[in-house]
Structure 1
Amino acid sequence: MTVVRDGPILIDGPVEIVQEDGTIAASDRFVVAVCTCRRSRAYPWCDTSHRRRTKPSGAGRREDCDQPSGSDPKGSHDGAPH
């Protein structure tokens, strides 16, 4: 198993995953990408939806840090909850 930073978990297949509701998702591929962000339309399998979300340019910076005059640290927020 390989954990990809900000991405899926790659597991050597075949794989069976028991989901919260008890259903089983199965794949016979030789490597399976399992979604960790829950944005995939093919959940529990990764469909690369995690790539479509970008972090604001000031990610990780405190809001009370010195900002260039006229800039709004909240102006680049993508509206998604963190």
Structure 2
Amino acid sequence: MIDATVVPEPPAPTGAASGGVAVPPPDYTESGVPTFESVRDKIEKRAGTATGAAELDADSAAGRTLEEQWEDRQEAARRKLDEIRKSMGR
């Protein structure tokens, strides 16, 4: 059983305000520049999120409706182009 009266201590402050040495976050170099790995991870995460959102959108009722509308327009354009070609004697 956990004793509810025991409150854990917060971590000791770091940085210039506490009189200590400022420690950069683990994804940055000591000079404050983001590491290649952290930038790559952020890009991959954003790309994955965008891909997932696009897949979910395409699977929704609205997404399917848009896809059907696109296909209908493409088919209408093909028919019109065939009609124009026939009228020109091709």
Q: Shorter-normalised TM-score: what interval?
A: under 0.3
Scaled by the length of structure 1, the TM-score of the pair is: 0.23
Structure ranking higher on relative contact order (CA contacts 8 Å, 6+ apart) = 1
Scaled by the length of structure 2, the TM-score of the pair is: 0.22
More strand by share: 1
